[in-house]
Amino acid sequence: MADTFSLQRVLETFRSSLSEKKEVYIKYYIAGWQELVAFMNSLGNVFSFISKDVVSKIQILENFLSGENRSHYVTIQSMVKYELENDLVDLTKRGSHPESGCRTLLRLHRALRWLELFLERLRTSTEDSKTSVMCSDAYNESLAQHHPWLIRKAVGVAFCALPGRDTFFDVMNAGDHTQVVALLGESLPLIAEVYQITEDLYAKNNLLELP
Ligand code: 1PX
Write down the ipTM of this complex: 0.96
Ligand 1 cavity residues, CB under 6 Å: 7, 36, 39-40, 43, 47, 49-50, 53-54, 107, 110-111, 114, 135, 139, 143, 151, 155, 162, 172
Is the model's pLDDT at 44 over the cut of 90? no
Q: Which of 141, 135, 113, 92 is nearest to 199 (CA)?
A: 113
CB 210 within 8 A of CB 103: yes
What confidence tens digit (pLDDT) does each residue in 152-167 have? 999 999 999 899 999 9
Q: Which residues does 157 contact at the CB level (< 8 Å), separation at least 6?
A: 46
Alpha-carbon distance of 54 to 32, in angstroms, equals: 12
Which atom of ligand 1 is least distant from the CA of 158? 39
- pLDDT confidence of residue 173: 84
- pLDDT confidence of residue 3: 59
Alpha-carbon distance of 7 to 124, in angstroms, equals: 17
What confidence tens digit (pLDDT) does each residue in 13-26 have? 999 999 999 999 99
Domains of the chain in sequence order = 7-104+111-203 (1.10.3520.10)
- Distance between Cα 26 and ligand 1 center (Å): 18
